Amino acid sequence: MPTITTTDGVEIFYKDWGSGQPIVFSHGWPLSSDDWDTQMMFFLDHGYRVIAHDRRGHGRSSQVAQGHDMDHYADDLAALTEHLDLHDAVHVGHSTGGGEVAHYIARHGEARVAKGVLISSVPPLMVQTESNPGGLPKSVFDGFQAQVAQHRSTFYRSLASEPFYGFNREGVEPDEAIIENWWRQGMMGGAKAHYDGIVAFSQTDFTEDLKKITVPVLVMHGDDDQIVPYADSAPLSAALLKNGSLKTYKGFPHGMPTTQAETINADLLTFIQV
């Protein structure tokens, strides 16, 4: 099983398939690199080298108690790109992974980076503050933490079967296999990592990170995202980026890379090829 060991002794699992220009995928909370299977197969078939890792505490990476914050997430990603000696890489992040991508590029520089993509992503800031009145109240995320600590299996099943993929919307037929795969990925990871990760994705302010990034970045977001509400995320991120572009998907849910993979993959390919 391919892994790297970070400077603080954490084993990070990763997949590395194919050759050509590298595309690096950063997954959302509380999932794993498996959530990118459809994208990895698609881009592998189009001649790209595709790489995805399990964030520390998630999937097959070490279930450590420490380091579940954006600085460590970004540093772990940097360690992986250095280990694989990646250059001209396109970094694609979904949800929490979008925050990881933004923080990685801003924190570690653009020497190895060609482009970035933020899909249904948490930047600039999810939690409501005086300077971010459109954010979600902290009590929402406190509730998430309580459910992870007390009965995360039930909580994860509810998230996957209802708002994550929009399966709670009228006329949308739930896909049981997708729900079960989400739950499987979530339960593979560690409860402590997932508990702390809620603070990381909700309270990290990525405003200054976004301002630092100069490479082209595509921001993709569905306007019916029930996890990361559209109005306080995608348009604000695109406006902060020096070379950002926004693509809005009418009616698409948070988990659109899975449920609308054909559309998302085609638009990603177009952006990468330009």
Q: Please tell me the distance from the alpha carbon of residue 237 to that of residue 225, in angstroms, as a whole number.
A: 15
Indicate which residue of 95, 120, 121, 237 is catalytic.
95
CA dihedral 211, 213, 24, 264 (to 10 degrees): 60
Strands of the sheet containing 217-222, edge to edge, are 3-5, 11-17, 49-53, 22-26, 89-94, 113-119, 217-222, 244-249
Q: Residue 51 class from Cβ within 10 Å (0-12 exposed, 13-18 middle, 19+ buried)?
A: buried
Whether omega for the bond prior to residue 137 falls within 30 degrees of 0, making it cis, is no
Residue 139 designated active-site:
no
Which pair of tokens denotes residue 127? 């939690």
Instruction: Using DSSP, state whether 231 is helix, strand or coil.
Output: helix
- Is position 35 annotated as part of the catalytic site? no
Query: Is 81 in contact with 53 (CB distance < 8 Å)?
Result: no
Active-site entry in 225, 232, 233, 237: 225
95 annotated active-site: yes
Strand 3-5 and strand 11-17: the pairing is antiparallel
Residues that are catalytic: 95, 225, 254
